Chain A
Amino acid sequence: MVTAEKKQFPVLPGAWTTPSAPGEKPHLIGSRCPACGEVFFPRKPKGRCTHCQHDGLEEIKLSRQGKIFTFTVVTQPPGGGYYHGPVPYAFGLVRLPEGVYVESPLVADDLDALKVGMDVELVIGKVWGDSEGNELIGFKFRTVQSARKKEAAGEIAR
């Protein structure tokens, strides 16, 4: 059987760590300002703090778990032809313990059951695939409830 070669591409290169040992889990990478303490996601590759203008941000691993601060469920495809994922889809702001919001796709068994304050955890994986076999790999946050269920069913490898 011949399978077409899939082209995987990350939504934002360098935005998360790749586990190097079994049992290790990926983390989102943020930037922290040693001068004022502000934390940013996505990380700022140029290393400049947009709060205090300090030059020399440090990269930090962000917590894998957070809480939904706000969200929406989009029920109509976005314009422009950039997004090739399922509709409806959810995205929102996840508040992490480091004191930063991460805007992220949200996944759950039932999108209608999403609520502000829910515990969510990071998943790195396929966000969507298009008709030409391209796969977008990205970060998303899954409700802890849904994640536990899938883990039990052996669907989540990491």
Chain B
Amino acid sequence: MKSLGELKALREVVVAGIGITRWGVYPEQEWYDLGSEAVLLALKDAGMEFRDIQAAFCGSCYQGVGSGHQALAEIGKTGIPIVNVENACSSGSSAFRLAYQQIATELYDIVLAVGFEKQQHKGFIPSTAFRPWERLLGYNVQPANYAKGVVRYMEDYGATIEDFSLVTVKNRRNATMNPNARFQQEVTLEEVMSSRMIAKPLRLLHCCPLADGAAAAILCSRDKLKNKDRAVTVAASVLASGVYGEHETAGGSIKFPPAVGMVELSVRQAWELSGYGHEDMDVIQVYDAMSPGELWDIEKLGFCRPGQAPRLLREGVFDIGSRLPVNTDGGLMGRGHPMGATALAQIIEVVTQLRGEAGPRQVAGARVGLAHSMGAGPNSVVTILKR
């Protein structure tokens, strides 16, 4: 295993090109249509050809065997190694991390990461993250598992359901400035608070919408860049899985709660690798599959103490133009959630912001940013990017 010093000395990896489809509901399109579209957009953005790609990592959750091969076959077949990556809602960022590692360790110079998902749009996703007996008892309702955390958080910190509703309001507002987001219309606090109850106390508009979509990034060593002006450097890419005893959906250990949780573990490593700290972040994308998740994530990443995020949200601290803009592209809540693509879209938004190409949602002068995804398992991926 490499030491921290050795990891820091690995070859620089840059993001050369990004591509994202307009996320929404596309009954007539399959994952390979969406995936190949995103790849072509990323190639164009990078000024590269498909034959330049030396290896590919393809993130998805429910697309089945060889789905990445199918998506890339829409463009061409060049004999390169293709690996399909399933890491729940962190599949896209996990694919990105694998691509990053291949270049950092000098195995390859130009590698593709792509994520895609064609959703089933009827009701809840019957997640394989639950054991058969848990499904028989009806535990396989993702909003319900968040709701258990919400009830506890309200109990512990005096947060209200209005706090979580304001996350939705902010992210839906940001989404109106992102042409690729599924939702293009704002919602009011009243609309969120009166939407249909799903799992008490969480309502429909506390849950992110599903979507069909894809996102892609082309990573390379600096010498392979076609356009050096728009390059963004990967300062850290860290993946962690669960630690013993942490409160997850089924409760943690009462006797042996962990000293450091999974998210804290991953972000700590990202700070060590990048040399950055909280105060250096100009923009962050966090994991808001459910609106409360955004607040918890901000706290677990260490941007404020536990229980403080609701107050900071009300003060507007997480708005574009304020101290710490969060989920500037609308997050999962506004953008939608094609599971294999989501975590890559978070990274792409940071890249877009650091390039200064985010249009009306641009964070002025953004130089460094962070994207954090989570997924069933559990897993946690922190990606830090710098200009």
Contact = CB atoms under 8 A, between A and B. Distances in A.
Contact of B138 (A39, A91, A100): A91
Given A51-B245, A91-B137, A38 B255 contact: yes
A80 B135 contact: yes
A75 B382 CA distance: 34
Most buried by A among B125, B132, B253: B253
B136 A136 contact: yes
B140 interface: yes
Interface residues of A, number: 40
Interface in B88-130: 122-126
Contact of A116 (B136, B145, B147, B151): B151
A82 B123 contact: no
Given A71-B148, A74-B144, A105 B137 contact: yes
B140 A82 contact: yes
Contacts of B196: 75-76
Contacts of B4: none
A44 B124 CA distance: 29
Contacts of A105: 137-138
Given A51-B244, A80-B126, A83-B136, A101 B252 contact: yes
Contacts of B245: 51
B139 interface: yes
A93 B253 CA distance: 12
B259 interface: no
A37 B253 CA distance: 11
Interface stretch (B197-205, B269-277, B294-302, B344-352): B197-205
Interface in A73-100: 73-83, 85, 88-89, 91-93, 95, 99-100
A82 B152 CA distance: 27
Contacts of B199: 72-76
Contact of B144 (A36, A72, A95, A101): A72
Contact of A93 (B124, B126, B135, B148): B148
Contacts, number: 117
B5 interface: no
A35 interface: no
Contacts of A8: none
Contact of A51 (B198, B202, B253): B253
A79 B125 contact: yes
A78 B126 CA distance: 8
Contacts of A80: 124, 126, 135, 140
B133 A11 contact: yes
A70 B152 contact: yes
B135 A82 contact: yes
B190 interface: no
Contacts of B254: 95, 99-101
Interface in B164-185: none
A11 B199 CA distance: 23
B140 A79 contact: yes
A70 B148 contact: yes
Interface in A106-134: 116, 127
A85 B123 contact: no
A45 B88 CA distance: 27
B141 interface: yes
Given A72-B199, A79-B126, A92 B253 contact: no
A70 B133 contact: no
B155 interface: yes
B27 interface: no
A156 interface: no
B144 A91 contact: yes
Given A83-B135, A83-B136, A75 B126 contact: no
A110 to B, nearest CB: 13
A77 B253 contact: no
B200 A72 contact: yes
A51 B136 CA distance: 27
A6 B282 CA distance: 63
Contacts of A85: 138
Contact of B152 (A77, A78, A116, A127): A116
Contacts of A79: 122-126, 140-141
B356 interface: no
Contacts of A50: 244
B378 interface: no
7 contacts: A51-B245, A72-B151, A75-B198, A78-B126, A82-B136, A83-B140, A88-B200
Given A38-B253, A92-B148, 13 more contacts: A38-B255, A39-B255, A42-B133, A71-B148, A71-B151, A72-B144, A72-B199, A74-B138, A80-B126, A81-B126, A82-B136, A95-B254, A127-B136
